[in-house]
Chain A
Amino acid sequence: MATRTAGAVAPRSEQELLLRGERLGRAMIRARLLEEKLGSLYRAGRIVGGVYLGRGQEALSGAGGVALRKGDVFAPLIRDMAGRLAFGEPMEDALRAYLGSRLGPMKGRDGNIHRGDLSRGILPMISHLGAMVSTVSGVLMAKRMKKERGGVGLTCVGDGATSTGSFHEGLNLAAVERLPLVVVVADNGYAYSTPRERQFACVDLVDRAKGYGVAGVAVDGTDPIACGEVLHRAVERARRGEGPQLVVGTLLRLCGHGEHDDGLYIDSTMKSSGRGRDCMQVMGDQMKKMGREKDWLSWREDAFREVEEAVAKVSAEPVPDPFEEDWWATQMGSGTEVLGSS
């Protein structure tokens, strides 16, 4: 179970690579523009509750979503708009959660990043960091017991979440069961305001892979091509039965923890270091190098239009009504009947 770093790219069919590149590029720019819109809706007071953005993390997150296929299960976290969109979450559903539309999968009962759609294989995260690792593992255990083969689970956490007991318990469980699980750690230098050296004492989180008995791969989280390749391979290894894969991407959160936070505590030398690069900029440069500047521009235009249309559509949707809400909906069993009598 060696720890490896992203190596040379093995030759693959050009068409497949281009297709994956387009899926990643489109997911990245769709996420960036949608989140910029969410930021302005927040400042305009149109959003109840917090807004947590994934600015700077679109390459790593999106690459995870691109590497998955239908039938896989995805448990995103705070900064995974790109991964969600790449995996197939409709932009409208993201907006419904923020704007509280009754038509969204959470029906206004839960909001912002705490959204998902089990019918699409997207688990709605609970806030408690680290909790989703064991839950995705449970989905994978169930698939194995049902003799459904070939499915992969992918979940994302931040550097801070790796300090939780549930992260440890969940990854250890997945390792013991050798589940087809990919855990993507976005080491963005901070957990809210806490720098990584107050979070853990190891040099690199990927070193922990050996201790769990799982494969570990480090990747430059600002490099879309590298992220795409590393995540693709990690997912394929998991799919082939090689057990859990720990992927650690190094990058920087290019925004506050949430839109309420200016992030002034972020160290300026980190900002000017390699991890402070904006993956969107890198993507633009990579596209330019390939002579595909025009494509990049047109994806951006498409994304811009999609955001505008989605916001207009969801803004007109009904919000939840406390008089129509089913306040007994905590249980499915006939226990509600007895509860109702109180």
Chain B
Amino acid sequence: MGDADGFRYGGLGFLVSVTYLDAIRSAQEKALQDDPTVFIYGQDVGAFGGAFKATKNLAKRYPGRVIDSPISEDAMVGMAVGAAMEGMRPIVEMQFADFSTVGLNQMLNHAATTFWRTGKPCPMVLRLPSGGTPGSGPFHSQSMETIYSHYPGIVVMTPATVDDAYTMLLEAIAMPDPVVFCEHKLLYYHLKADALPKSAVPAFRAQVVRPGRDITCVTYSAMVHEAVAAAQELVGEGYEVEVVDLRTVKPLDTDTILASVARTGRLLAVGESWPWGGASAEVVARVASEGFELLDAPPKRLNAKDTPIPYHPNLWAAHRPTAVRIAAALREVLRY
């Protein structure tokens, strides 16, 4: 792979860093290379390389397999369901996660029910450029994992790291089930690793990304980085926060969460999505009902505010959980 990939090479010609977005593009390229049944379908994904350049150069290298679609989210997903039934492994790129609402019916009622109804797999990946970035406003900032997770039959992945973006996307493509792959736009360019990963954390497993003895903070996607920053802040106050990255929110790895709470006795669940329901609510519900005796304080949730996502950075920064707000919530549970 050369410069055209968008990778930055050092003076000696070796890869000095890989962004989260590079990882997503590389995973798709590897899948196209290794598996002739893989193809990509989405708006502007062809010669243009996608709105975020997640498919840059792929159309040229894999002719006929990286296909521009009309602006028809329902038909894009419906087409993928049919192609998957016929043995292909389509990757559908939504331009923004927010627009996938237009294709919800095909994902929730068709892709998700196919295996249960027919006994035949429906292997497809719906890639959702998700989450807030400054200035994106109500319709280019949403996190959709709550809706997709509610329906049986769909795997929902929410990678937080460059390594996971790469390995989990490859897993998603290889999986016989429909997968919703929530990639966070805020991480696209800023999150970097030295190189593509050589090994993967086991599929569907949450991971303790920062060990600590005093409280468990369960989160996923971009919020993992906010939580780690909050944990850092509390070190000065004498607290050790354990941060658990869910990685995949559906299915939910309850065992890893309960094991962590067993060590710390306290829980804060954080999500960037809205407060009504969702992954953070599910985490608290499970710990409350299955790990009640493990708790030394009432478990707490922290989510975005219950309004549409604001445009102005001042408002946006106050709308979503940040390291400062997470730290405040952690203190509350710690001082109970």
> Are the chains A and B members of one assembly?
yes
Write the residues of chain A forming the contact surface with B, with a CB cutoff of 8 angstroms: 105-107, 109-110, 114, 116, 118, 123-124, 126-128, 131-143, 145-146, 165-166, 169-170, 172-173, 176, 329-339, 341-342
- For A176, what are the chain B residues with a Cβ–Cβ distance below 8 Å? 70
Q: Check A133 against B85 for contact (C-beta < 8 Å).
A: no
Checking A136, A141, A332, A339 against B176 with a beta-carbon cut-off of 8 angstroms, the contacting residue is A332
B227 at interface, CB cutoff 8 A: no
- For B75, what are the chain A residues with a Cβ–Cβ distance below 8 Å? 133-134, 137, 166, 169-170, 172-173
Q: Within the assembled complex, what's the spacing in Å between the Cα atoms of A336 and B177?
A: 11
Q: Check A145 against B81 for contact (C-beta < 8 Å).
A: no
Whole-angstrom distance from the CB of A129 to the nearest CB of chain B? 10
* Number of A-B pairs, beta carbon distance below 8 Å: 167
Q: Within the assembled complex, what's the spacing in Å between the Cα atoms of A265 and B187?
A: 58
Point out which of B70, B73, B75, B88 has the most chain A C-beta atoms below 10 A from its C-beta. Answer: B75
Whole-angstrom distance from the CB of A194 to the nearest CB of chain B? 21
Q: Within the assembled complex, what's the spacing in Å between the Cα atoms of A135 and B111?
A: 10
Q: Check B286 against A342 for contact (C-beta < 8 Å).
A: yes
The answer to whether residues A126 and B113 also contact, given A333-B175, A342-B252 and a CB cut-off of 8 A, is yes
- For A342, what are the chain B residues with a Cβ–Cβ distance below 8 Å? 251-252, 254, 286, 290
Closest B-chain residue to A176, C-beta based? B70
- For A142, what are the chain B residues with a Cβ–Cβ distance below 8 Å? 82-88
The answer to whether residues A145 and B252 also contact, given A128-B105, A165-B74 and a CB cut-off of 8 A, is no
- For B79, what are the chain A residues with a Cβ–Cβ distance below 8 Å? 134-135, 137-138, 141, 170, 173
B137 at interface, CB cutoff 8 A: no
Checking B82, B248, B286 against A135 with a beta-carbon cut-off of 8 angstroms, the contacting residue is B82
Point out which of A106, A116, A138, A334 has the most chain B C-beta atoms below 10 A from its C-beta. Answer: A138
B110 at interface, CB cutoff 8 A: yes
Q: Check B251 against A339 for contact (C-beta < 8 Å).
A: yes
Q: Check B155 against A333 for contact (C-beta < 8 Å).
A: yes
Q: Within the assembled complex, what's the spacing in Å between the Cα atoms of A332 and B83?
A: 18
The answer to whether residues A128 and B109 also contact, given A333-B175, A342-B252 and a CB cut-off of 8 A, is yes
Checking A135, A140, A333 against B78 with a beta-carbon cut-off of 8 angstroms, the contacting residue is A135
Checking B74, B118, B119 against A169 with a beta-carbon cut-off of 8 angstroms, the contacting residue is B74
B80 at interface, CB cutoff 8 A: yes
Closest A-chain residue to B86, C-beta based? A142
Q: Within the assembled complex, what's the spacing in Å between the Cα atoms of A110 and B109?
A: 13
Whole-angstrom distance from the CB of B180 to the nearest CB of chain A? 13
Checking B65, B82, B86, B290 against A134 with a beta-carbon cut-off of 8 angstroms, the contacting residue is B82
- For B115, what are the chain A residues with a Cβ–Cβ distance below 8 Å? 329-332
Q: Check B72 against A145 for contact (C-beta < 8 Å).
A: no
Per-position binary interface string of chain B over residues 183-217, scored 1 when its CB falls under 8 Å from any chain A CB and 0 otherwise: 00000000000000000000111000000000000
